[in-house]
Amino acid sequence: MTDPFFLPEDDNAASAIAAIAEELDLFDDWMDRYQHIIDLGRKLPPFPAAWQDEAHRVLGCQSQVWLQPELRDGLLYFAGSSDAAIVSGLVAMLLRVYSGRPPAEILATDPVFLKELGLIEALSSNRGNGVASMARKIQDYAAAVARG
Closest CA to 82 of 112, 118, 57, 50: 57
For residues 56-77, one letter each, b for 16 or more C-beta atoms within 10 angstroms of the residue's C-beta and e for the rest, the string is bebeebeeebbbbbeeeeebbb
How many CB atoms within 10 Å of residue 31?
9
Give the residue numbers annotated as catalytic, written as ranges.
61
| Cβ–Cβ < 8 Å for 110, 87 | no
Cα separation, 12 vs 98, whole angstroms:
9
